[in-house]
Amino acid sequence: MLGSIRKFSKTFLAKIFIAIIALPFILWGMGDIFRSGKQNILAEINDEVISSKEFIGYIQKIELSQEQIESLGKPQILENILSNYLSEKIIEIESEAKGIMLTDKGLKNIIVSDKSFEKEKKFSRVKYEKFLLKNGYSAPTYEKYIKGLEVKAQLLNFYSGGIKLPNFIIEDLADKENHSKQISYLNLNNIYSKKIIGENEIKKFYDDNKELFKERFISFRFLELTPEVLIKNKDYNELFYQKLDELENEILDGKTFLEITAENKNNIQNIEMVNIRKTKKDGSIIENLSDELFNEIFKISQKNLPRFINLENKFYIVEVVNQENMFLTLDDENLKKTIKTQIDIMKKVTENKKIIDEINNKKFTKTNMNKLASKNNIKVENLNINGLNDDNVLSKEIVKKIYNHSENEIFLVTDNLFKKNYLVNIDKDIPSKNTNKEDIKKYSSKANADYVSNIYKSYDRYINTKYKIDINEKVLERLKNSF
């Protein structure tokens, strides 16, 4: 949930006053804690009651645009706002419990010290008021926002401030990232690539999983509204835009697509049954139609309802005439490629698991790795990796995983998509040379950040245990319906 709170705060940063400092307060399982009861109470955090009136006031301050609402949908936006609001409430409760506060004098010092409001190195009341006016803030609202930021910063500092780690932890991190590893490795893809996926396998996979291959197909027609079409010349003049307005009004008045386009029926383009990838049932792909226009058309969910579309000063009238969820067929080459990729991954997972099980059961050693290479007529490679950031041969993702293992250990590593699969034996760990003062300073900051991060994770668990959140489902549904 923290991830969604962060994402939400970025999306609406200009409209909603949320702390820039990311606090580790997680509200897990919002969908599972809804309940009924108490007509005007939207939520409760332990004994703290949040009324629907209070939450509506919070929403009104956000002033969401129609585009923002449509991008997520009203119900999802409302749940995101509520999630964020509850997080803010928990932060407020925690701060008060710890006695963390900001006096009016402290708030004044923060504002007058902001260089953004300075003129000739002195605080300028005029610049401050211009800033408020430009950004649509009232002075009390902005000052409340600044106060919230400072209190949250103090709360963070309450738990993590003043930490000074001992040198051995810093030196251990520096050595962990900079020591060298001599490894032997086998690229398993050189074995897996020899196994060809046949047509029979593809067909069997398709037949066994046919329900997965349903897609929405639509048939539609459209007319591009150029000056030649509407006013019989090439000029984008006042008459042309007047005709566009008349056409939009005709759509609003309920006229049909054919009624509106009767004079230009020869210019109408018809597209039969195509999916989101612009692919027809026979696997052919629609050319000569921009992705931007097609994507707008595919968003239309209602049939036989003409729509006006404006894209980069190009104008169209569009109508979806049919839509159906249909099974893709193996005539679709993209589908066949997808199935082949899936089968390939499944085979790699199966083979990898066999090796991993043998390793875990102490039945697979470096000798077995050499035998496997010899059996498949491929070579075991030797490599010296000079630190965690050495990606000259292997990717950083793979190197990072290798550095989680120690000398004389054999293991299997892959990337997330199983495109890279390696059997690795660490032949030798070579300690790093003494680090200089600049390195120590760099790793001191990094070790401290890692340690603080662990503190916040522990605090996450504490918050989840300490605060019980109840959402009144009936009140929330009522708000969604009236939003």
Nearest Cα to 189, choosing from 368, 420, 380? 420
Q: What is the 3-state secondary structure (H, E, C) of the chain?
A: CHHHHHHHHHHCCCCCCCCCCCCCCCCCCHHHCEECCCCCEEEEECCEEEEHHHHHHHHHHHCCCHHHHHHHCHHHHHHHHHHHHHHHHHHHHHHHHCCCCCCHHHHHHHHHCCHHHEECCEECHHHHHHHHHHHCCCHHHHHHHHHHHHHHHHHHHHHHCCCCCCHHHHHHHHHHHHCEEEEEEEECHHHHCCCCCCHHHHHHHHHHCHHHHEEEEEEEEEEECCHHHHCCCCCCCHHHHHHHHHHHHHHHCCCCHHHHCHHHHHHCEEEEEECCCCEECCCCECCCCCHHHHHHHHCCCCCCCCEEEEECCEEEEEEEEEEEEEECCCCCHHHHHHHHHHHHHHHHHHHHHHHHHHHHCCCCCHHHHHHHHHHCCCCCEEEEEECCCCCCCCCHHHHHHHCCCCCCCEEEEECCCCCCEEEEEEEEEECCCCCCHHHHHHHHHHHHHHHHHHHHHHHHHHHHHHCCEEEEHHHHHHHHHHC
pLDDT at 27 over 90: no
pLDDT at 346 over 90: yes
Q: Which residues of 92-121 are buried (b: 16+ CB within 10 A; e: fewer)?
A: bbbbeeeebebeeeeeeeeeeeeeebeeee
Q: Which residues of 322-339 are buried (b: 16+ CB within 10 A; e: fewer)?
A: ebeeeebeeebeebbeeb
Task: Specify the pLDDT at position 202.
Answer: 93
Task: Specify the pLDDT at position 295.
Answer: 92
Nearest Cα to 322, choosing from 349, 300, 340, 307? 300
Task: Specify the pLDDT at position 57.
Answer: 76
Predicted confidence (pLDDT) per residue in 152-191, tens digit = 777 767 766 656 666 666 666 666 777 889 999 999 999 9
**Residue owning tokens 């099980």:** 357
pLDDT at 89 over 70: yes
Predicted confidence (pLDDT) per residue in 38-84, tens digit = 567 888 888 888 888 888 877 776 655 555 555 555 666 777 788 87
Write down the mean pLDDT value for the chain.
80
Architecture of the structural domain at 2-161+462-482: Orthogonal Bundle (1.10)
Q: Out of 199-203, 276-280, 329-333, 416-420, pick the least confident.
A: 329-333
Cα dihedral: 455, 460, 466, 467 (round 10): 150
CATH 3.40.640.10 assigned to 210-327:
no
- pTM of the predicted model, to two decimals? 0.49
CA distance 142 to 148: 10
Predicted confidence (pLDDT) per residue in 301-335, tens digit = 899 999 999 988 899 999 999 999 988 888 888 88
Kindly tell me the burial class for residue 222, based on how many C-beta atoms sit within 10 Å of its own C-beta (0-12, 13-18, 19 or more): buried
Task: Specify the pLDDT at position 68.
Answer: 55
